[in-house]
Structure 1
Amino acid sequence: MADPVPPKIRPEDTSMISARQKRFYDRMVILAWVWAGLILSGGILHLIIPGAWAHHLFYTMAGLNALFLIVLFIFLRQIKTSAGNIGHLIHQTRDIFWTLDSRLQISSLYGSVQEITGRTPRALRHKRFIELLPEDKGAEVETLLRQNSPFSIESGLLRTDGTVLPVEISGSPVPDQDAHQGIIRDLSEKRRREIQEKKLKEKLDRSEKLKNLGLLAGSVAHDLNNILSGIATYPEVLLMDDTLDPKVRQGLSIIQASGRKASSVVSDLLTISRGARADKQIININTVVQRYMAAAEFEKIRQTYAQVKIEVDTEPELLNISGSYLHIEKAVMNLMLNAVEETADKENGRVVLATGNHYVDNTPEAAQCPRDLSSGEYVLLSVTDNGDGIPEDCLDKIFDPFYTQKEMGKSGTGLGLTVVLNAVQDHKGKIFVESGPGGTRFELFFPAVREELPLAEVPPSLDEIRGNGEVLLVVDDLPTQRKIAATILRTLGYTVFTVGSGTDALEFVRQTPADLLVLDMVMAPDISGLETYRLIKEVYPGQKAIIASGHSESEDVLKTQALGAGGFVKKPYTVMDMGIAVKEELEK
């Protein structure tokens, strides 16, 4: 439960307090004169009136005096109670209640004086009020005070520790006196809330930007991947011809590599838009690091930046995580590329890629964790460089899509760190960045699991995925996609037919049953792949199918698989991607 917020004195309360004090004083004066009059009149009457009348009069006056004392006692208790309430309010508030004399010197201070100023009220008494303020604000406040009108101004307040506290100063002249009174209000909490609100707004703006980017990526991904299939996939089919001229083979390899690179950019767009669903499995990040270090991409980085010393320090007993191998690999690749580029111009450039186990205990008895992490076990992946660091004003922007300080297009697309952030968030992890003149360190924390790694599967050879003449029907609205799929599958030994719509597919299987369907998901303006499969299942309940689409694994894909369809192959696919998916589904 949050601590109660101390009350704040409003500027109008100062006048109320002064008026109440004046009323108390005036009433006390009246009561004092009444008491003195009663005593004096009683004595005079006792002298001039003789006999029994004097005694009666004496006792009457004594009774009146006793009654007066009772009234006075009750009134004084009310004054004490009221004064106590006001005093409690003043001392409990986070504000300072002040009064100044005619020379603008402090005559009294109440409230959170020491907490706000760092000094006691006694130490500040008789000091000039403007000595508490920065020079420019002090002159402005003095001018306002001498105008003898109510005012309110935001300023800084000089503390004894050298810091300047943001405050609001409200003041007004005291009625019928050559003096001033007012309030100093601490604005630190207000400023903290404003900063939090600003960060929240920036976070919401970033989320909105990612959402819009996701809509854009989702709308173009299907078309882009279909286009890229001809560049990235068809060369692979042609390269299977052993009789190709070496120069032609080299050219096709370049085309294929370019297509794969373009496809990777589309994949990154889908990743940061959260449009690509990643299948999670038990993996060990050390394995991801080792495979990356042995990959051609890393070898290219090592050769290009040979002057940078790259070190790898992995924890031998590293815990496992539940995650996507592809997304973790992308995170490692982007962080390493950024790090080596950052240190490339340094004489002793150095990059360290490390893994480790990390335990967080947030119980009251444990030491406070320096990171904002929940209690539990984590796997830490860190990349540290000794570059010039990230400018402080850029730290909040580095994860924004397309934000880069490098030449756009020459070194990446500005999506690298956005991909890293989304990979961490998709794994329910946390990312922390420390940067300064001595370099930059990225720390990625992933929740650890105690499950064992699954047995490693040996990828099948091309001969193992060849068919035996089984009948396959490719359903795709684009002629180029039908041709690419048909060419690959015929090369693998299947009997292949193609149709351009779901309606045609339904008519075809009624005439010629197929062992397997290769379904596209989006086939406008005809029925979708999901609807096509549903209608065919009504005719042939045991119909087998796989999905090949330029979209990510969308809700329609999941629904189609729930109906009985098998694997999902994302365009542009490789011969092995398609061959494995078909072979596995046929053997079920």
Structure 2
Amino acid sequence: MPPSEKNNTTLNFPRFMKFLHKITGLLQIWAALFIFLALLILFLPAQTGKPLCLIFFMLNGSFIIVLLSWVKSIKLVMKETGLIVSNSKDLMWAMDSRLNATFICGDPEHISGKNAMALLNKPLASILPEDARDRFNTLIGENQPFSMECLISKGENSTLPVEILAEPIQGSGQDTFHGIIRDISDQKKLQALKKELNSSKKLKNLGDLAGSVAHDLNNSLAGIATYPEILLMDDTLSPKIRASLDIIKESGQNASAVVSDLLTISRGIREECQLLNINTIIKRFMAAPEFEKIKTAYGKVDIEMHLEPELLTISGSYRHIEKSIMHLVINALEETAATAGRGNGTIVLSTANHYVDSEKDGYTQQNLSPGEYVMLEVLDAGKGIPEDCLNKIFDPFFTKKKMGRSGSGLGLTLVKNTVLDHQGEIFVASDENGTKFTLLFPALRSELPTTSQPTSIEEIRGKGETLLVVDDLASQRKIAQTILKNLGYKVFSVADGIQALDFIMQTPVDLLILDMVMAPSISGLETYKRIKKIRPSQKAILASGHSESEDVLKALSIGAGAFVKKPYTILDMGIAVKEELNR
């Protein structure tokens, strides 16, 4: 429908029309007088007043011309204003002392879902939600100009953010207020984009900071996180010393996990994806000794699992998805335990195959492509997340916990970033009965490989193969040498890439363990490139305190076998060495 037709019941402009009616009335009177004078001029003799009538006749004609020009101008203004108003997406209104709408123009259907006739002579506040309606009427009662924002419902599952601008009309007769109701959805989207941009900038700054300290910090943590594990291999240690070493090792690993989370959040997942089954990750996590410690800390909170036996596979990072599950489960345990008084609550973990339909599925609102997905849900029995916190829970360092309590404020940020890096999406639903996190990952119909990784030290022992550790830090060389010698390898070490080249020229080795950052000498990537020119079939694994960088990816592309992130465990290093030697 054309705009002029759509709004033709609303473009009457009452004040213009009243003024126009008055001018038209005057015009009719003066037209009658004009005809009367014309008749007098025709029939009166000259000596009885014809000259005087002629003067009045001319003046009257001039006044009629002026009145006609006024009418023409007013109609032109009304037409032009009508065109502007009829193409506006705003709703312009006036109302009387009873708060009923007396004048509606613009695009009421866009704003309220109702046409103008449905709004006229009815309370204007009726189109507002109840809480906004009370606020609107209160502000009207103050008889001062005001503005307010609210959401207007336009039907099922459809709301529109609007701004209401209003001011009183002085000396207007029946109308007391007029104003505009304006669609501000574009402004809200712009604000959200600005917020997202600011968040991205913060994450970039966080990434720059984390990247600048991660290498040195992880190298330092290796002595705390890894060396206790070496000492624990000594069977003669007393239980008291063994317990102390366990505490040191756990503290170092926790600190390393925070650095790793920072790098993941700021730089994304950079490790090679593999075929995974989320059910398997959940079961392994639940069976781990670390999880038993976590669960014990939260009293009698029960965990129910409803896992789809025919769950589809996904392509992803085992470590990051396991961490996401861990953060969600710990969060659910904390919320449920706090509500249930450290007991008698239940959290539910469930998985399912889910098909996203572009026409019927609400998940498509988040720009998920139609298709098959693996769904992971974690439901707690807590008191829910306050509405004003729902849009903040994924922000870095946001936490509802008191200072000094568990949690760095990175857990849910890591979860969201992990899901997005896997081309999936995360959804949150929360009320007074608890909170449910729903994660969707793109599904594959591929069978998992049947190979399994070693789980004990005995499975990763070497057979006297020769290894060369290349690292610029003496402490790192010492840790790597000790681990690998205890695993049955013959180990040498050098402090930089140039020394490594000289060593390889003289003594062939079965495997290199290369640090990637060895300033001021040549990097691990450059070292490996030069060694490959001498020995094209040389095997190597990479070790670094950074996450997977461009140099790491390039080294992997030219033949390096694996990347081991510092600080590593004995099992991490042992598996990487064993697999590369057997490749």
Q: Do the two structures share a fold, i.e. TM-score over 0.5?
A: yes
TM-score by length of 1: 0.77
Matched residues in 1 for 2:228 and 2:148: separation?
70
C-alpha deviation, 1:476, in angstroms: 0.7
1:220 equivalent in structure 2: 213
Alpha carbons of structure 1 residues 368 and 331: separation in structure 2 relative to 1, 3 Å: closer
Residues 464 and 489, structure 2, Cα contact 8 Å, conserved in 1? yes
Identity level (%): 50
SS at match of 2:267: coil
Question: Aligned to 2:165, which of 149, 163, 168?
Answer: 168
Residues 269 and 418, structure 2, Cα contact 8 Å, conserved in 1? no
Amino acid at match of 1:560: A
C-alpha deviation, 1:245, in angstroms: 4.7
1:295 equivalent in structure 2: 288
SS at match of 1:352: strand
The structure whose Rg is larger is 1
Q: Alpha carbon RMSD of aligned pairs, Å? A: 4.5
Gaps of 5+ in 1: 50-71, 126-130, 145-151
1:178-234 Cα deviation digits (max 9, x unpaired): 8989852103x22x4444344333333332332222222222221222122222322
1:502-535 Cα deviation digits (max 9, x unpaired): 2222233233333332211111122211122223
C-alpha deviation, 1:298, in angstroms: 2.3
Given the alignment of the two structures, is residue 111 of structure 1 paired with residue 115 of structure 2, yes or no? no
Matched residues in 1 for 2:262 and 2:4: separation?
50
Comparing 324-333 with 91-100, greater Cα deviation is found at 91-100
1:224-264 Cα deviation digits (max 9, x unpaired): 22122222322333333445455544443443333333332
Matched residues in 1 for 2:482 and 2:516: separation?
20
1:496 equivalent in structure 2: 491
SS at match of 2:443: strand
Residues 155 and 169, structure 1, Cα contact 8 Å, conserved in 2? no
Question: Aligned to 2:406, which of 403, 408, 411?
Answer: 411
Given the alignment of the two structures, is residue 258 of structure 1 paired with residue 251 of structure 2, yes or no? yes
Comparing 178-187 with 313-322, greater Cα deviation is found at 178-187
C-alpha deviation, 1:40, in angstroms: 6.9
Given the alignment of the two structures, is residue 542 of structure 1 paired with residue 537 of structure 2, yes or no? yes
Question: Aligned to 2:329, which of 318, 336, 340?
Answer: 336
Matched residues in 1 for 2:95 and 2:461: separation?
94
1:96 equivalent in structure 2: 92
Alpha carbons of structure 1 residues 479 and 314: separation in structure 2 relative to 1, 3 Å: same
TM-score by length of 2: 0.77
1:455 equivalent in structure 2: 450
C-alpha deviation, 1:360, in angstroms: 1.8
1:436-484 Cα deviation digits (max 9, x unpaired): 2211111111121222222232527645544444332211111111111
Given the alignment of the two structures, is residue 121 of structure 1 paired with residue 120 of structure 2, yes or no? yes
Matched residues in 2 for 1:310 and 1:179: separation?
66
Question: Aligned to 1:356, which of 352, 355, 380?
Answer: 352
C-alpha deviation, 1:138, in angstroms: 3.1
Matches within 5 A, 1:277-296: 277-296=270-289
Residues 218 and 275, structure 1, Cα contact 8 Å, conserved in 2? no
Comparing 38-47 with 89-98, greater Cα deviation is found at 38-47
Question: Aligned to 1:553, which of 544, 548, 563?
Answer: 548
Amino acid at match of 2:344: N
Alpha carbons of structure 1 residues 304 and 156: separation in structure 2 relative to 1, 3 Å: closer
Question: Aligned to 1:485, which of 451, 475, 480?
Answer: 480
1:64 equivalent in structure 2: none
Amino acid at match of 2:165: E
Residues 169 and 178, structure 2, Cα contact 8 Å, conserved in 1? no
Matched residues in 2 for 1:561 and 1:22: separation?
83
Alpha carbons of structure 1 residues 335 and 21: separation in structure 2 relative to 1, 3 Å: same
Comparing 309-318 with 29-38, greater Cα deviation is found at 29-38
Matched residues in 1 for 2:240 and 2:168: separation?
87
Gaps of 5+ in 2: 47-66, 125-132
Matches within 5 A, 1:364-375: 366=360, 372=366, 373-375=368-370
Question: Aligned to 2:304, which of 300, 311, 327?
Answer: 311
Alpha carbons of structure 1 residues 499 and 123: separation in structure 2 relative to 1, 3 Å: closer
Alpha carbons of structure 1 residues 260 and 37: separation in structure 2 relative to 1, 3 Å: closer
SS at match of 2:428: strand
2:512 equivalent in structure 1: 517
C-alpha deviation, 1:269, in angstroms: 2.3
C-alpha deviation, 1:393, in angstroms: 2.2
Alpha carbons of structure 1 residues 20 and 438: separation in structure 2 relative to 1, 3 Å: closer
Matched residues in 2 for 1:181 and 1:390: separation?
43
C-alpha deviation, 1:410, in angstroms: 3.6
Alpha carbons of structure 1 residues 109 and 492: separation in structure 2 relative to 1, 3 Å: closer
2:52 equivalent in structure 1: none
Comparing 106-115 with 551-560, greater Cα deviation is found at 106-115
Alpha carbons of structure 1 residues 104 and 466: separation in structure 2 relative to 1, 3 Å: closer
1:323 equivalent in structure 2: 316
Matched residues in 2 for 1:209 and 1:156: separation?
29
2:468 equivalent in structure 1: 473
Alpha carbons of structure 1 residues 397 and 539: separation in structure 2 relative to 1, 3 Å: same
2:54 equivalent in structure 1: none
Question: Aligned to 2:500, which of 497, 505, 508?
Answer: 505
Matched residues in 1 for 2:99 and 2:237: separation?
97
Residues 237 and 488, structure 1, Cα contact 8 Å, conserved in 2? yes
Matched residues in 2 for 1:471 and 1:132: separation?
81
Amino acid at match of 1:356: A
SS at match of 1:344: helix
Question: Aligned to 1:137, which of 121, 136, 139?
Answer: 139
C-alpha deviation, 1:82, in angstroms: 7.8
Alpha carbons of structure 1 residues 81 and 339: separation in structure 2 relative to 1, 3 Å: same
Residues 339 and 383, structure 1, Cα contact 8 Å, conserved in 2? yes
Residues 522 and 528, structure 1, Cα contact 8 Å, conserved in 2? yes
C-alpha deviation, 1:44, in angstroms: 7.0
C-alpha deviation, 1:541, in angstroms: 3.3
Residues 356 and 379, structure 1, Cα contact 8 Å, conserved in 2? yes
Residues 346 and 380, structure 2, Cα contact 8 Å, conserved in 1? yes
Given the alignment of the two structures, is residue 429 of structure 1 paired with residue 424 of structure 2, yes or no? yes
